[in-house]
Each structure stands twice: as C-alpha cells, then as structure tokens.
Amino acid sequence: MVWVPLRTTRTDRRAPLRSPSTRCTTMSLEWLMDWSWSLDGLRDFIATGIQSFRDCDATALAAVACLLVLFIWYCYHVGREQPRASYPTVNALMQGAEANGVQNGYVYCHSPECVRCAHHDGLNQKLYHNLQEYAKRYSWSGMGRIHKGIREQGRYLNSRPSIQKPEVFFLPDLPTMPYFSRDAQKHDVELLERNFQTILCEFETLYKAFSNCSLPQGWKMNSTPSGEWFTFYLVNQGMCVPRNCRRCPRTYRLLGSLRTCIANNVFGNACISVLSPGTVIAEHYGPTNIRIRCHLGLKTPSNCELVVGGEPQCWAEGRCLLFDDSFLHTAFHEGPPEEGPRVVFMVDLWHPNVAAAERQALDFIFAPGR
C-alpha cells in the first residue's frame, strides 16, 4: 500500500490596504494591549512611536498636537487653583518683596484695605466676600464655624470679656486658655528645641552688629513705655523678608520643616525678639485667637517674665513657651544690665483645634494684600 501525503490547501488572504493614519492608530492600540512595564517595553514603545509618527499623515499629527496643548493647559489651570506653597525660596521672593514695601528688612503696610491693619465698618463684608470666593472655588464643607464667626464678628469682639479680645478676627467655639502645654504642637516644639543651638548661633552673629550702630539693618525698634525692644523678622504678617532670611538661612529652612507654622496669611510671623534690661512692653491684645504664639528661649536672664491673662510665666533657654496672644498680655525684663538682653525666637503656630479645611480657607481669606 502506498501512502500519499495529504496536501493542505491554504488560502492566502491579504489584509486590505489601510491609510497611514489608520495604521498608526491600530499599531498603537495593539501595542498598548501587550505592553508591560519594563525597560524593553519602554524601548519598543519609543521605537514604535517614532516609526508611527513617520508613517502618520498631517491630520494625525495635528490631532496629537492639539491633545498635547489641551493637556498642558489643563495642568496649568489646575496648578493655578491650588493653595500656595508655604515657603518659596528667598531668591524668588527678593524682587517682589522689595517692590511691595520691604524697607530696612521690615514690611510696612501701605494699603488702607489691609484687613490686618485697617479697622473699618466694611471689614465683615470684605471677609464674607472672601469666604464666598473661596467656597465658590473649593467647597462650603467645613466652613460653618468660619461663616458663623464672620457673620457675628461684631458681637463677638464687642462682647468678649476684657481678658481676651482679639482685635481683628475671633473664631468661635475654640478652647480658650492663656497658656498651652507643649503637647499642643508637640512635633514643632521638639523640632525647635532640637535646633536651639542653630538659632542661637545665627542670632549671636546678627547681634554683633549692634556694637557698630544703634539700629543695624533688618532690625525694627518697637514702641515701649520704658527700655528697648528690638525685633528681627524673617516672616512678617505672612510675608517673608528675603534680606533677613538670607542672613539666617538655617533658621529660615527650619521654618519650612514646621508642620503647623502659619505661613500664608497675615496672622503668621516669625522673628527674633530682644528685650534690653529695664524694658516693659505695654499690655496689649493680639489680632486673633486662631494661632498659638511660640517663644523659644535663646537668652533668659533673671527677673524676666511673660504675663498672659494675669498669669505670669518665665522663659527658659532651649525651651518653648506656648500662649494665646489674643489674651491681654505683657512682658518685662527687670534683670541687671550685666546679664544682658532677654532673647526669644518667636513663631506663630496654628491653634490645634482649627481644622485643616479651616486653615486652608483662612489662608485664602486673610492672604497678604487681599
């Protein structure tokens, strides 16, 4: 018997011709189906993409270009709507800050519309307008307490007991006490205390300039009933002072590591505060109760005290003292001249009971220059 091999008949079906743009799209889809995250896959993708662009016609290239332009526009639009970063670099701020009134290292407010400095009947309307603008961009969620505070601000400020009377803005339903424990902002307190020597060294370098002139550049003299009170601001009313920050670079970088530092609104400050012997600071109120003022003791001679709400406390070197400066407060240095000045590093932190959504809204409502 003779075996005859079977002959298989094979039909040659050629794929229909396709236009270059259709072939480009098909190749891309097939590749995406089989693509895996590997270097080989990435290399093949790039090679295929280059070849595809070579094969594609002008219409396909125009479509890709339009999609790229739309994507770039979307990224720009979304990025512009986000809240500002806490601390831009000093070099980036230098030109703009000087144009906005930085003189001798201190920011002077020249705007009658500034909510931090101006006291007028239309303040509540201005704040409510800012709140509406914020809610329109983001959300009304979590804004109940701020809305209540703005709506009844006049009553809150006028009816507060004399021991606590913030001058600009009172946020209702916050726990009130003259002093706060270190645990209220534990992370930032510990970070500041660990960097005590760094801040002290930069202060001592700055303070040497006092031997050459009465008020060196960057320092501000404050009004006091007796004695001398000097401040060196790194951040003043939410605005960095670039020239001063350049002279204290490590302290400035430290501010960016703090989790609760008020950085983007007019209630945020960071400075070195110096009281010479025999100085008394007149009793006064701070502008708001949404913050805690933190004093890190750098030099603390004897007979120096801070009195908040009638309660006296003493500073200690290398330790933080937290208090609510919307309470009536004063400070004095009655130590002997040979012990030198009392020096603290002062920074404003968020009150621990102000929620994250409220902080973002307050940054928007009280943005510098708004």
- Residue-wise DSSP of 184-228: GGHHHHHHHHHTHHHHHHHHHHHHGGGGT-SS-TTEEEEP-SBS-
CA nearest 342: which of 282, 293, 278, 292? 278
Task: Report the DSSP beta bridge partners of residue 292.
Answer: 349
- Whether residue 218 contacts residue 105, with contact meaning beta carbons closer than 8 Å, is answered with yes
Any domain includes 115: no
Residue 367 included in any domain: no
CATH number, domain of 312, equals 2.60.120.330
Average pLDDT over residues 198-213: 88
Rounded Cα distance between 315 and 166, Å, is: 24
User: Mean pLDDT across the stretch 190-202?
Assistant: 97
Q: Which two tokens stand for residue 329?
A: 């407060």
Average confidence (pLDDT) over 180-207: 96
pLDDT at 307 over 60: yes
Q: Is residue 370 very low, low, confident or very high in pLDDT (cuts 50, 70, 90)?
A: confident
Q: Residue 44 has what pLDDT?
A: 72
What type of residue sits at position 337?
Answer: P
pLDDT of the residue at 96: 43
Residue 156 lies in a domain: no
For residue 365, is it within any domain? no
The span from the CA of 4 to the CA of 119, in Å, is 109
pLDDT, tens only, 43-79? 676 777 666 656 666 676 777 778 788 778 766 655 5
Pick the more confident residue, 84 or 172: 172
Question: What are the DSSP calls for 305-351, one per residue?
Answer: EEEETTEEE---TT-EEEE-TTB-EEEEE-S-GGG--EEEEEEEEE-
Sign of CA dihedral 321, 298, 85, 106: positive
pLDDT at residue 87, rounded to an integer: 40
Full domain range(s) for residue 343: 179-209+216-355
pLDDT at residue 285 tops 90: yes
* CA 97 to centroid of chain Cα atoms: 16
Helix (H) or strand (E) holding 272: strand 270-275
Average pLDDT, the chain: 80
- C-alpha count within 13 angstroms, C-beta hemisphere, residue 199: 30
* 219-271 tens-digit pLDDT: 999 999 999 999 999 999 999 999 999 999 999 999 999 999 999 999 999 99
Q: How many structural domains compose the chain?
A: 1
Is 123 inside any structural domain? no
Q: What is the percent of the chain with per-residue pLDDT over 70, rounded to a whole number? A: 71
140 in Cβ contact with 131 (< 8 Å): no
pLDDT single digits (tens) 6-28:
444 444 444 454 555 555 555 55
Res 58: pLDDT? 67
Helices then strands, counting H and E runs in the chain, come out as 12, 14
Report if residue 246 sits inside a domain: yes
Residue 248 lies in a domain: yes
Identify whether 130 is part of a domain: no
Element of type H or E holding 242: helix 242-247
Say whether pLDDT at 89 is over 50: no
Local structure of residue 84 (DSSP, 8 states):
P
